[in-house]
Amino acid sequence: MTTTSATGGPASVTLVITTGNGFNSSVGDQPAYYVLTPNGLQPSTHLTFPINTLVKLTIVNYDDGNATLLESQYANVEGTVNGTITYVNNDNVNSTNGGSGIVLNGGETVKSIPSDIIAHTFTIPSLNINIPVPLSSTVVAYIKITTAGNFQWMCETACGAGPSGTLAAMDTPGWMTGDVEVS
Ligand SMILES: [Cu+2]
């Protein structure tokens, strides 16, 4: 189980993306999604989301490079509450020392991300959910899934290996794809 819920708050799922993961000797390092749980990191092969429940989905992305979108539509946020995500990183968060305390400038709540700063996406095509993930960023989205079943999740950037960038991590459950159980 990958969801937890504080009393009165939304359930939460936290995913972490790193890049220095050994795939095999012929491919080398590949990016991968993990699930952060109270027991530490777990593979993203099989994710679980509670049905008809507001879920706070947080994606912590340590990848500092962009990757080409497989289709331009994946720059757009789909299937989240208000059709938005909020993301924070070193470029859009800073503070100044104001006279009466810290003055925060931080984060952006958006309906799309410029394609040249997208590193990965978290996409569940059959549920019309698409979350573009900017490089070196933390992304927060709220989603509520109302359809039970098993669905495939995947990344829609060419972040894997091979001529098209769709092999290796992109093609292997627990790396840039897996399944989502909604129940
Ligand atoms: Cu990816």
**Predicted confidence band of residue 183 (pLDDT cuts 50, 70, 90):** very high
Residue 31 CA, ligand 1 centroid: distance in Å: 7
Residue 7 CA, ligand 1 centroid: distance in Å: 33
Predicted pLDDT of residue 8: 59
pTM assigned to the model: 0.94
Residue 157 CA, ligand 1 centroid: distance in Å: 5
**Predicted confidence band of residue 42 (pLDDT cuts 50, 70, 90):** very high
| Residue entry with tokens 């936290």 | 14
Residue 75 CA, ligand 1 centroid: distance in Å: 13
Residue 107 CA, ligand 1 centroid: distance in Å: 22
Residue 133 CA, ligand 1 centroid: distance in Å: 9
Residue 57 CA, ligand 1 centroid: distance in Å: 17
For residue 106, the number of C-alpha atoms closer than 13 Å in the C-beta half-sphere is: 13
Residue 17 CA, ligand 1 centroid: distance in Å: 9
Residue 122 CA, ligand 1 centroid: distance in Å: 8
User: What is the C-alpha to C-alpha distance for residues 121 and 111, in angstroms, rounded to an integer?
Assistant: 14
The 10s digit of each residue's pLDDT in 85-125 is 999 999 999 999 999 999 999 999 999 999 999 999 999 99
| Residue entry with tokens 């497989």 | 70
